[in-house]
């Protein structure tokens, strides 16, 4: 897969779910896919653009990655294996196909590793699982995403889960619109491109008719 450096902003995080946003760090899955996570620093920038991670934790991960670049590369590799297994599983389910057993096992193995590294902590009168750089090390982001991925697969309203209709996109998102008819990841990008293409086709048709 081609690597494409990218600076992540809020409009890259439109999946409606952390696990979906991770899948969307590869773009153009419907054509020539481009992976926007060239290195661990890019992953940290993606994580900073999310609200699922603590600033101090991400700073600690940055220090760990700087101290052990080889370990950071290996951790990024594990994250991408989870990302691709999740993507294949979602695509299969959304297209009415049976997901590959190897992908399901991979997602569950990531979940099991995440569960093993979790701590149960008191928080606002409840007990919540949390993950720390001390226990999860460079896999902290993978651990948090793995937990969300299982929750998504078990609990998501699949009728609201979509693959963007846009060309050169392939992003996945939860359609939370009232009408439940959202077709594009983002109206401002894929939606507008689709509208422009329809306009061009209509326009070309008019010209052909005029010429004939
Ligand atoms: Zn799109």
CA of 16 to the centre of ligand 1 (A): 14
CA of 22 to the centre of ligand 1 (A): 15
CA of 23 to the centre of ligand 1 (A): 13
Mean pLDDT for the chain overall: 92
* CATH classification of the domain holding 71: 1.10.3300.10
Provide the domain count of the chain.
1
CA of 1 to the centre of ligand 1 (A): 19
CA of 12 to the centre of ligand 1 (A): 10
- Percent of the residues in the chain that have a pLDDT greater than 70, as a whole number: 94
CA 60 remoteness from chain centre: 23
12-66 per-position pLDDT tens digit: 999 999 999 999 999 999 999 999 999 999 999 999 999 899 999 999 999 999 9
Residues 169-180 have a mean pLDDT of 93
Domain span holding position 69: 2-211
Confidence of residue 159 (pLDDT cuts 50, 70, 90): confident
Q: What is the pLDDT of residue 14?
A: 93
How many Cβ atoms are within 10 Å of 171's Cβ, its own excluded? 26
Q: In terms of Cα–Cα distance, which of 35, 62, 202, 205 is closest to 133? A: 62
- Give the integer Cα–Cα distance in Å for 93 and 47: 27
CA of 202 to the centre of ligand 1 (A): 22
Q: Who has greater pLDDT, 201 or 88?
A: 88
CA of 192 to the centre of ligand 1 (A): 10
């Amino acid at each position: 897969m081609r690597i494409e450096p990218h600076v992540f902003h809020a409009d890259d995080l439109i999946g409606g779910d952390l696990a979906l946003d991770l899948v969307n760090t590869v773009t153009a899955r419907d054509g020539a896919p481009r992976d926007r996570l060239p290195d661990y620093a890019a992953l940290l920038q993606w994580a900073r653009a999310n609200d699922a991670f603590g600033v101090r934790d991400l700073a600690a991960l940055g220090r760990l990655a700087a101290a052990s670049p080889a370990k950071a590369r290996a951790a990024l590799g594990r994250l991408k294996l989870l990302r691709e297994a999740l993507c294949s599983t979602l695509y299969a389910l959304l297209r009415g196909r049976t997901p590959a057993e190897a992908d399901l096992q991979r997602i569950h193995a990531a979940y099991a590793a995440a569960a093993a590294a979790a701590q149960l902590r008191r928080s606002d009168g409840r007990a919540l699982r949390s993950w720390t750089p001390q226990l999860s090390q460079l896999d902290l982001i993978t651990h948090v995403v793995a937990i969300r991925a299982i929750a998504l697969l078990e609990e998501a309203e699949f009728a609201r889960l979509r693959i963007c209709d846009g060309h050169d996109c392939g992003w996945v998102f939860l359609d939370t619109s009232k009408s439940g008819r959202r077709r594009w990841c983002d109206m401002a990008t894929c939606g507008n491109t689709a509208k422009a293409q329809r306009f061009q086709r209509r326009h070309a048709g008019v010209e052909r008719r005029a010429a004939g």
